[in-house]
Chains A and B, each alone.
Chain A
């Protein structure tokens, strides 16, 4: 599949032009408001045309985001945002496709799709608003919840090891991997713009506080810090870094240069055509 991104808008739109008239029903203070602000700023900075942009999501508070954007949107089925986004991009390579959702949607029910989306390396950007909880269904632990997080629904904690989404993405072949903090709108905007512009499957984990079920996450703004080193092009090095960090390093971690989905097939087809031509009598 040849890489195609939608052409720039003829007249530059402002970030607010990418917001729809639908007002978010998120709780006041929810980190997802910041993600919406960053995403609209990133797409405005890239001057993407709304009619050539599609945002696909699953189910959850975070997955409501397509409704709040002024572009094509698909509010899909829980955990199935990535197959939908993949299908859309393969069928319509001219569109810029962004997939968005939560840690429950992307790492629990949709966990298997994450592996294969990374592996296929289709040219889409996957944004996970990670609040280490199922926000929409009232605060059940998710795969990124700490094992000792005590709550009414998991008294004493789950005792289960959390999932390392960035390591999984790196091991599975994602071509761009980053972590940001929702409250850092400037940094998140820049990272999202980079992720959208990077060829192949880009994965951005955004630490996005759920102020209602995880009021402790209001403290994240004091915990996040820039990474001590810049991004790497070596996935093994990136994985080692993220396995040993405190979970609050933010920034671009890895930029790869793997063939995007379909590129190798196209090259082979070209080679076969040349070969056929050579032996044509």
Chain B
């Protein structure tokens, strides 16, 4: 299993931080896009539309990071060299939480979890970095994620939590005829 070292958040250079921030967003764009397509395939159009919207939101965020990078060349690393604290980039949806009958509320809960882990990722760098410039850039990225957390919470309040039988399928895949 690929893991980061204990104090990995201390050691980011500014370019590394920018590359990680950009790749987090690009990965999230793809992950939400894939999920939107998966939900569309299953006829869960409401959640598909929501994931599609999330993908667009993350794409805007990626653009913002590119702008923040200015002239700094952001060269992607080999995929196994990224230093995420978990198995996946912090803003990627945990597939283990996905279900074809999931409700918008559940989808938004997963999205909120992502924003929280992205925020924690940048906050840890801001806190641990020994380089002031890196620290303040990480703080900025952390604040952006805080803003996203607030949006997610607002959205969540608009959708009711799922009923107890949310995963009831009158024609379940496991049925043996």
Instruction: Please give the residue numbers on chain A whose beta carbons come within 8 Å of chain B beta carbons, in ascending order.
Output: 15-16, 23-31, 33-34, 41-42, 45, 138-139, 152-153, 181, 183-187, 189-190, 193, 209, 211-213, 218-219, 221, 224-226, 250-251
Contact = CB atoms under 8 A, between A and B. Distances in A.
B3 A27 contact: no
B16 interface: no
Q: Which 5 A-B pairs have the closest CB atoms?
A: A190-B80, A29-B98, A28-B38, A218-B96, A186-B2
A45 B1 contact: no
Contacts of B173: 27, 138, 212-213
Given A27-B173, A41-B79, A45-B79, A34 B95 contact: yes
Contacts of A221: 87, 94, 96
A183 B87 contact: yes
Contacts of A41: 79
Given A27-B100, A181-B1, A186 B176 contact: no
Contacts of B88: 183, 185-186
22 contacts: A15-B79, A24-B38, A24-B41, A26-B38, A27-B173, A28-B99, A29-B95, A42-B79, A138-B176, A152-B176, A153-B176, A183-B88, A185-B87, A186-B82, A186-B87, A187-B1, A187-B80, A190-B79, A211-B99, A212-B173, A213-B173, A224-B1
A251 B1 contact: yes
**Most B CB atoms within 10 A — which of A16, A25, A186, A221?**
A186
Interface residues of B, number: 29
Helix, strand, loop or mixed for chain B's interface?
loop
Given A29-B98, A189-B79, 19 more contacts: A24-B38, A24-B41, A25-B41, A27-B173, A28-B41, A33-B34, A34-B95, A138-B173, A138-B176, A152-B174, A153-B176, A181-B1, A183-B94, A187-B87, A193-B80, A211-B98, A211-B99, A212-B173, A213-B174
A219 B39 CA distance: 22
B112 interface: no
B84 interface: yes
Given A187-B1, A226-B3, A250-B1, A28 B174 contact: no
Nearest to B176: A152
B30 A183 contact: no
Interface string B40-67: 0110000000000000000000000000
A184 B39 contact: no
